[in-house]
A and B are shown apart, each in its own frame.
Chain A
Amino acid sequence: MTKYFQSFLVGLQSNLVYRWNFGVRSLFWFFHLVVVFILWGAAFATSPSIGGYSFAQTLTYFVVIFVLQFFIGAFNEDYQISEDIRNGLINQFLLKPINYFAYRLSVFAAARVVSGVFGFLALLLALPFFRAYLDFPHDAWRFFLAVPAMAMTAIIQFSIAYIFGLLAFWFLDIQGFVILSMAIENLLGGQMMPLDLLPHPIFNIVRFLPFFYQAYFPASIITGRQGLDFAVQGLAIQAFWAFALVCLAEFVWLRGLRHHTAAGG
């Protein structure tokens, strides 16, 4: 356990080197929030309620998605893993008593601490503009269910990025796959719009997919878009996906190692 804690500490240091990148990314996200504000503000101008929610509730949803992305979202872990494989850096992990998944997870946690702080700072700066539009529910149970939901969201986000990164065992360039998955995750994860606005039959299919638990699910608990029964059922489905994806990651890792050739001394 100590070695992974040390990896976490090293991860903190190396991610602080890229603090400006996180700062710039926060700024871009702020602009994205401005786009959301203008688009949805114009949509709500003629309809005081969309999908049963007010403009303030909808904007609150997007702000929470913004914060979640910085605290528990996978950014470029897939790229880092693929680079480890392509450059042969993965070889050093094969020779040491260290689990690559656990090592990468500890580095991911460190990166999210740093990016989370920057995201939070960006939010504090933007708060004077958005404060009047924030509308949170006050049920205590939401907090207690949101914590495990966010933890499992982090595991799902990381596992999907990890699996895509491992595709480098088979493909020279995985960037196309990564951006392909990003498009799917953006839509079915609820980053482009609250998923409860989808037609009901489609929503009922999407809620059983892992992408649903990448952002929308914890955000819907926090912002009051879903009730207690739905949240409890959702936690069970999310736990299944978190477990299944970790198993799949291990399976892909073992299959990938069969393909891997460690050249050089």
Chain B
Amino acid sequence: METIGHYLRIWLASARYSLVRATMFRGDLFIWSVVELLWISVNVAVIFVIYSHTKTVAGWSQYEMLLLVGTSMLIQRFLMGFFWSGIFEMGRNIRSGLFDFTLAQPGDPLFMASTRKLELDGLLNSFVAAALVAYSAWRLGIHPGPGAIAIYLCMLACGVIIHYSALVMAMSLAFWITSSQGVEGSYFTLMEFSRLPREAFGRLASIIFVWILPVVVVSNGPARELLRGFEPWWALGLFAAAMGWFAIAVFMFRSGLRRYTSASS
């Protein structure tokens, strides 16, 4: 309990620092908020254009698809808001030797590295993504009770854990390879799959993107829970994938850390 309190205090200090920093660079916060909002709008616009020419995509109606895209974006905004900057800088710091400073801090290195900064623009736009989910649910006539919303939120949390783990794994490559510049691009490319309905995938694509890489389950699980009600196998599958991917990410990070030879100069 004392350990949890210790880490909570560290996280609150980081959050306070991020908030002060964001208010110092208000123009920057504004620009990045607009950037995030525009990307959400671009994705929504594509859905509207596709559905202006067809009624369903893989059996999903327009607002079902919007709910799926909103869910996927919600997970991504949470990841961007809470962890992105810290993990992204971790990759650079490992190469430059600046990771020494993280190791010298009073806490687990992975926790310290990944919770160092909050990005308010990502968190602000999570409200836009949440509004998109709520609007789609309203258009579909879905009125989930508190229990269904709680399960949806738990499944979202599992999705964030999977995204977080994938990003930690990608950035941990910096322990082994000299230049992992652009590796973050692999994360964004893979996450494009999370905006697609599970039913759109053929047999081979299902094996890769549903069973081996859980990029589809991450968003389809919570969205289906709202649309079709609680399906235990989806929830259990998502929970198991989250735990499994988190364990692999931590293992990979720790294996890499053993190779870290500090600043090279």
Contact = CB atoms under 8 A, between A and B. Distances in A.
Interface of A: 20-21, 24-25, 28, 31-32, 34-35, 38-39, 41-47, 50-51, 173, 176-177, 179-180, 183-184, 186-187, 192-193, 197-199
The majority secondary structure among interface residues of chain B is: helix
Interface residues of B, number: 36
19 contacts: A21-B179, A24-B183, A28-B186, A31-B189, A32-B192, A38-B196, A42-B57, A43-B53, A46-B54, A46-B57, A47-B54, A176-B28, A176-B31, A176-B35, A180-B35, A183-B42, A187-B42, A192-B42, A197-B50
Contacts of A46: 54-57
Contacts of B202: 38
A193 B189 contact: no
A125 B52 CA distance: 34
B200 A38 contact: yes
B181 interface: yes
The majority secondary structure among interface residues of chain A is: helix
Contacts of A38: 193, 196, 200-202, 205
Contact of B58 (A42, A51, A187): A42
Contact of B46 (A34, A45, A192, A199): A192
A231 B110 CA distance: 55
Contacts of B34: 180
A47 B53 CA distance: 8
Given A34-B205, A173-B28, A180-B38, A24 B54 contact: no
B46 A25 contact: no
B232 interface: no
Contacts of B205: 34, 38
B32 interface: yes
Contacts of B38: 180, 183-184
A42 B47 CA distance: 13
B216 to A, nearest CB: 10
